[in-house]
Amino acid sequence: MPELPEVETIKLGLQRKILHKTLKRVEIKSARSFLGKSSEVEGKKIEDIWRRAKILGIDLDGGKTLLFHLKMTGQLIYVFAKQKGKVLQASSKLNHTASEAGSYENGDKIIGGHPTPDMRGKMPNSHTRIIFEFSDGSKLYFNDQRLFGWVKVLDSKQVKDGGGKIMGKIGPEPLKKGFSWQILRENLLKHKKMPVKIALMDQSVVAGVGNIYASEACFGAGIDPRKKVGEVSDEEFKRLHQGVVKSLKNGIKYGGSTRAHFIDPEGRKGYFLDYAYVYGRQGQRCKKCGTPIEKITLGGRGTYFCPHCQKSVK
C-alpha cells in the first residue's frame, strides 16, 4: 500500500499515540504475518518510532526492534476504547461496535482543508492479522487484506548497523538534506535501459517512491514515463529531482493517498489524490493543458501521464 508519504503519516500518528507506552501482549492471528517471537517484545517499552523508505520501525527497550512492511494493503490502526470501569467490561460482552464501546480518543480533524472522518470501523475485522495490546488497554491493529505485509522482530543493533540484508539495499531518503539531483542521476543511471518511471520505483535508487508518486514525479518533470534513463538529459534529471521531492511533500501535506485501503492510525484517509495531476485520472483533462490523461501499463503497473505535457522534448 503505502509509499513514503503514507508510511510517514502512519509514523507521525503512532508517535502521537503509542510512544513510551508498554507493549503488554501480542496476539498473532496470522502466523505468516509475524516473523519472530512475541515473547521477546511483550513487556517492553516503546522508545522510538521511525521510518526508512517504506519500512516502519519501533524500537523497544531491551534491544529489540519491530519492523513493519505494509506492502499493498497493510494498515496500522490504533484504538483506545476509554476505560469506564466495569461498564465497559460489561458492555464488551454484548455484540457492540467499537465506537459504541467507548468512543475514540479524538474527534474528526482537518487535513489539507478536508474534514477527516474516522474510518476505523469495528476492530478487529476479518483482515486483522496481529493485535498489539498496551498496558493502558489501548490496542494497535495490524490489518492486511492481501497478506503481503509483515512484522519482524530483530535486534535493534542489527538494524542500526545498516541491517546487512535486513533492510535490503535502500537508497537515499529523498526528503533529507543531501538528496541532490546529481545523486538521483547517478543512481538512476544504474538502469540506463529502463523506463525512467520504473527506475524511480527501485528502492535502491531513491527510498520510498512507489507507483503513485513515480507517475506524479514524471508529470512534474514533464518527462514521458516510458523514456529510457540513458536518454534523460541533465535538465530533465533536475526537474525529476524536483518532481520527486514536491510530490512526496504534497503527499505528506495531504495525509497520504487513499486509493482503496489506506487510513492512518486514527482512521483518517489521505487526500493527495484530489491534488494528483495524473494518477488515477485516465480520460480526465490534464490540469495544466486540458489534454485527456492516458493510462498505460509499464512493468505490469498502471502508469498515468499527459501525452502533451510529458513529451520529453528535452
Helical axes 4-18 vs 234-253, angle rounded to 10°: 30
Q: What is the DSSP string of 155-219?
A: EHHHHHTT-TTTT-S----TTSTT--HHHHHHHHGGGTTSBHHHHHT-TTTSTT--HHHHHHHHH
Please confirm, yes or no, whether 27 is among the known catalytic residues. Answer: no
Q: Does 264 bind DNA (CB under 7 A)?
A: no
Of 282, 251, 266, the residue nearest 1 (C-alpha): 251
Please confirm, yes or no, whether 115 is among the known catalytic residues. Answer: no
Please confirm, yes or no, whether 129 is among the known catalytic residues. Answer: no
Per-residue interface string for the shown chain with DNA, residues 177-196, x marking contact by CB under 7 A: -------------xxxxx--
Going by DSSP bridges, is the β-strand pair 34-35/150-155 parallel, antiparallel, or unpaired? parallel
> Do 304 and 281 form a contact (C-beta atoms < 8 A)?
yes
Catalytic entry in 17, 54, 197, 239: 54
> Do 30 and 130 form a contact (C-beta atoms < 8 A)?
yes
Selected binder of DNA within 12, 28, 88, 147 (CB under 7 A) = 147
Tell me how many residues contact DNA (CB under 7 A).
39
Selected binder of DNA within 63, 117, 162, 168 (CB under 7 A) = 168
**Buried (b) or exposed (e) across 63-80, using 16+ Cβ within 10 A?**
ebbbbbbbebbbbbbbbb
Closest separation in Å from C-beta 193 to DNA: 4
Closest separation in Å from C-beta 106 to DNA: 21
* Cβ burial, residue 12 (10 Å; 0-12/13-18/19+): middle
Region of 60-68, 151-159, 237-245, 296-304 interacting with DNA (CB under 7 A): 296-304
Residue among 35 and 87 whose Cβ is closer to DNA: 35
Per-residue interface string for the shown chain with DNA, residues 195-214, x marking contact by CB under 7 A: ---x--x-x------xxx--
Within positions 62 to 121, which residues make up the interface with DNA, using CB under 7 A? 69, 71-72
Residue 9 is inside which H or E element, if any?
Answer: helix 4-18
Q: Does 53 bind DNA (CB under 7 A)?
A: yes
Residues catalogued as catalytic: 2-3, 54, 301
Residues near DNA, by CB under 7 A: 1-3, 6, 53-54, 69, 71-72, 126-127, 145-148, 168, 190-194, 198, 201, 203, 210-212, 256-262, 297, 299-302
